[in-house]
Amino acid sequence: MPPIGIFGGTFDPIHFGHLRLAEEMAEAIGLSQVRFIPAGQPPHRGVPRTAATHRLEMVRRAIAGNPRFEVDAREVRRPDPSYTVDTLTVLRAELGNEQPLWLLLGADAFTGMPSWHQWRQLFTLANIAVAARPGAQLMRPDGLPEDLKHELSQRRVPDGSATGPAGSVLLQQMTALDISATRIRATLARQGSARYLLPDTVLDYIHQHQLYTST
Q: What is 125-148 written as a DSSP string?
A: H-EEEEEE-TT-GGGSGGGS-HHH
Best-predicted range by mean pLDDT (28-37, 48-57, 73-82, 168-177):
28-37
Q: Delimit the domains of the chain by residue range.
A: 4-176
Residue 215 has pLDDT above 80, yes or no: no
73 and 56 Cβ atoms separated by less than 8 Å: yes
Residue 6 has pLDDT above 70, yes or no: yes
| Alpha-carbon torsion (133, 41, 115, 94), positive or negative | negative
Choose the CATH number for 4-176 among 3.40.50.620, 3.90.226.10, 3.40.640.10, 3.30.1360.70: 3.40.50.620
Helical axes 200-208 vs 52-63, angle rounded to 10°: 150
Write the pLDDT tens digit of every residue in 40-85: 877 766 668 799 999 999 999 999 999 999 999 999 998 888 899 9
Radius of gyration of the chain, Cα coordinates, nearest whole angstrom:
17
- pLDDT of the residue at 113: 94
Residue 190 has pLDDT above 70, yes or no: yes
Distance CA 38, CA 41 (A): 9
pTM reported for the whole predicted model: 0.94
